[in-house]
A and B are shown apart, each in its own frame.
Chain A
Amino acid sequence: MHFRTFAGFVGPSVFLMLLFIAAPLVGVFLGSFQITQPVVEQVEVETCTPGFLTQTCTTELVTRPILDENGNITTTTEWVGLTSYIRVLEPGRAWDAVRDLDYNALMQIDFWAALRFTLMFTLVTLPLVIGFGLAIALAVNNVARSIKGPVIFVSLLPFIITPVVGALSIRWLFIGDGILTSALEMWLDRDLALFAQAWTIELMMLFYRVWHVAPFAFVIFYAGLQTVNRDTLESAIIDGASRWDRLRYVIIPHLMPLIVFVALIHLMDSYRVFEEIVGFSSQAHVISLQWLTYDFLQPDDAGNRAYSRASASAMLTMVGIVILLIPLLRRTWRDHKGAPH
């Protein structure tokens, strides 16, 4: 295919990605080395605010930005090198904690706590999602034709449901004296507060993510199972392979590309875990990397957004995901080199 034809085909797609993904990304990259701040002045200001019957007036020294003749805030932008990265990573404190083998102190630094949870979340859910997806696919493949349709339908529900709604529905089952908490309390005969400590919240988040994503793995694997070569299976039986051997040596290798595909998608999605933090309002106990970026970007009551630190944390997040993806990318590269065209 000529380059011009190729460009004609991929042009619109590449244009959109450049405009809406690459351009902001370059901005974020540059922004992580800069700090833009308003030029401020201190002035004495008298503020009168209402009480119930009469006003109270206070005079205080207030810092406020200087406005230029167009009414815009005067700002200065400086290149600050790695300052923002240092503010996010806090290497000094982190190193002290590592040297003293003080895990708790390390977890007091937001970035490292977020990294710990994000990695744990990604690596724990990955095998669970693949395992459950495969188990459901095998089980569904096993049931009678007549109920296959409804079973597939029900199995897909957690995946198609809007994530915000899904997370809330799980939350309602557990929060306060939600019915599942009550049920657990009856069963264990003790008072439970599932939202009161980190590990129970983490368990619920893991449960939610596996619940939400396993159907995706299921439907992909199920599709793959439909194309397993009958002849290979039958010759395996003739060779006396047990059920387990067939699964291990025929079915799994056949599904391997799909397992890689699901793993790839799941790694990327769970590494940017975010809805769970919001949905379970867990920020007091656990935070994730994307939530950290989001939190930097939320304007505080003074209207400031920590753009520089948000950019730095976003770049760090990106470096992390690229490192996680490298093994899978190498596989793709080998496939690409080996693929016939």
Chain B
Amino acid sequence: MMIKKLALAGALSLIAGTATADCAFENETEVRILSAAFEAWNAVTEAMAECGNVSAELDQEFRTKQPSAFAANPSLYHVGGVSNGTITPLMNEGTIRPLDDLVAEYGQHLSSNQLIRINGEILAVAMMVNTQHLMYRADILEDLGIPVPTTWEEVLAAAEVIREAGVVDYPLGATMRAGWNIAQDFNNMFLGFGGTFVNEDSTPNVNTEAGVRALEMMMRMTEYMDPEYLVSDSTYVQQQFQQGRIAMANLWASRAAAMNIEEESQVVGLVATAAAPTAMPGGSPATTLWWDGIVIAANISNEEAENAFRVAMEGLDEEMVRANNDDAIWLVPGYQPSPLAEGAIATATAEPAPLSYPSTSQMGLMHTALGNELPAYFTGDVTAEDALAAAEAAYITAAQEAGLLD
């Protein structure tokens, strides 16, 4: 099966002393990598390690460590794994280097889609996209004669039918754990209702009609969910699916493959994916697009950077993708979309298309503020307007401290 025993405990270093034939060249200089810890990074760093002298650190604390580790001189790592959420501090602090020269020399095989350009400069090379989209139990929807929902209203209608049929514990699941997760779910819905998070002068703009409608829609969803939704993160929702306890959820594409792991899933082959539902008819899917990719540190010598980039390219080659095809929605040439990737592709190619998660300081502050303040609405302590006003207040305090607002 596609599950491979994860070879890494929270973090693990692969110090491959011997270069194997799988790598185009034998790496002589040490290359250190710090990235997030999930299956796709595992695959990429293992492929890099084939070149020898690579030590990869897949760390759940990478978000905390990466900015300061790259700011050190010399930088503690050569290569960083980032996403559009986590590249912001590195970009702001200027601790990653432009890659145009290196791409021209060693990266001809990269598709232009993979090159993350900021003001024309290539700052990162993307390897995969990720998005939250609709995953549903195809068997249940078929049995009950429900068409695949395309809007959230339809999702709620379908949930009502499923609840009445009583085939699962809870019709809906959602990644609404307090903090980052619930804020992300709100972001999706808020963008789906056409909201914008901040004005041009950095003042907040979430306590609006779109914000209230997004929260109300989420509240209506919770009626069909496990009442413990404020502690449910992606893994929890994934397990609910695997144990056949929920029928639909707006879940990360990177989680889809887990539905078909025979050792742990009781619903193998029964889960299908579709584009994320829209919040308003004719709107864009209520979700955001994410990418994951690599960056190279600025505070290292040019030779080290060149070497690190070559090693990274070995990790992002076709061979790696062929061996790990289902671990992610790869952007690397050679990727064969599996049936489970349909939802992600439909989401990304929808018209109008959902936005990429914005890599801005304001968004980072807003995300944190929302994650801290919104749960009060769901515990019933405050109204939607009050929760959004509290989030705006928290954002303003943080923005003042960060120098974004006066």
To the question of whether A and B form a pair in one complex, the answer is yes
Which residues of chain B in 49-91 are interfacial with respect to chain A, using CB atoms and an 8 Å cutoff?
63-64, 67, 71, 84-86, 88-91
Q: A35-B401, A51-B353 given as contacts; is B361 within 8 A of A304 (CB)?
A: yes
Find chain A residues with CB under 8 A from B382 CB: 108
Find chain B residues with CB under 8 A from A53 CB: 113, 348-349
Which residues of chain B in 107-132 are interfacial with respect to chain A, using CB atoms and an 8 Å cutoff?
112-120, 126, 129
Q: Determine which of B64, B178, B289 lies in contact with A281 in the assembled complex, contact meaning CB atoms within 8 Å.
A: B178
A64→B367 contact, CB < 8 A: no
* B248 adjacent to chain A (CB < 8 Å): no
Which residues of chain A in 96-120 are interfacial with respect to chain B, using CB atoms and an 8 Å cutoff?
104, 107-108, 110
Find chain A residues with CB under 8 A from B278 CB: none
* A24 adjacent to chain B (CB < 8 Å): no
A51→B289 contact, CB < 8 A: yes
Hey, what's the 0/1 contact readout for B84-102 against A, CB within 8 Å counting as 1? 1110111111110000000
Which residues of chain A in 69-102 are interfacial with respect to chain B, using CB atoms and an 8 Å cutoff?
71-73, 76, 87
Complex-state Cα separation, A196 to B126, whole angstroms = 39
Q: Nearest CB to that of B95 among chain A residues? A: A71
B298→A302 contact, CB < 8 A: no
Interface size class on chain A is 35 or more
Chain A nearest Cβ from B256, distance in angstroms = 15
* A149 adjacent to chain B (CB < 8 Å): no
B92→A50 contact, CB < 8 A: no
A303→B349 contact, CB < 8 A: no
* B368 adjacent to chain A (CB < 8 Å): yes
A50→B360 contact, CB < 8 A: no
Complex-state Cα separation, A327 to B365, whole angstroms = 42
Chain B nearest Cβ from A253, distance in angstroms = 46
A304→B381 contact, CB < 8 A: no
A283→B119 contact, CB < 8 A: no
Find chain A residues with CB under 8 A from B67 CB: 299, 303
Hey, what's the 0/1 contact readout for B186-208 against A, CB within 8 Å counting as 1? 00000000000000101000000
A38→B402 contact, CB < 8 A: yes
Find chain A residues with CB under 8 A from B229 CB: 196
Q: A284-B375, A298-B64, A300-B364 given as contacts; is B230 within 8 A of A38 (CB)?
A: no
Interface size class on chain B is 35 or more
A299→B403 contact, CB < 8 A: no
Q: Nearest CB to that of A304 among chain B residues? A: B402
* B372 adjacent to chain A (CB < 8 Å): yes
Hey, what's the 0/1 contact readout for B356-384 against A, CB within 8 Å counting as 1? 10111111110110001001101101100
Chain B nearest Cβ from A85, distance in angstroms = 13
Complex-state Cα separation, A319 to B363, whole angstroms = 35
Which residues of chain A in 30-47 are interfacial with respect to chain B, using CB atoms and an 8 Å cutoff?
35, 37-40, 45-47
A60, A175, A304 — which one has the most chain B CB atoms within 10 A of its CB? Answer: A304
B202→A63 contact, CB < 8 A: yes
Complex-state Cα separation, A27 to B146, whole angstroms = 62
Q: Determine which of B129, B182, B344, B402 lies in contact with A50 in the assembled complex, contact meaning CB atoms within 8 Å.
A: B129
A63, A67, A108, A198 — which one has the most chain B CB atoms within 10 A of its CB? Answer: A63
B residues at A contact (CB < 8 Å): 63-64, 67, 71, 84-86, 88-95, 112-120, 126, 129, 177-179, 182, 200, 202, 226-231, 236, 289, 291, 298-299, 329, 331, 344-345, 348-349, 353, 355-356, 358-365, 367-368, 372, 375-376, 378-379, 381-382, 386, 390, 397-398, 401-404
Which 3 pairs from chain A and chain B are nearest by CB? A303-B89, A302-B364, A301-B364
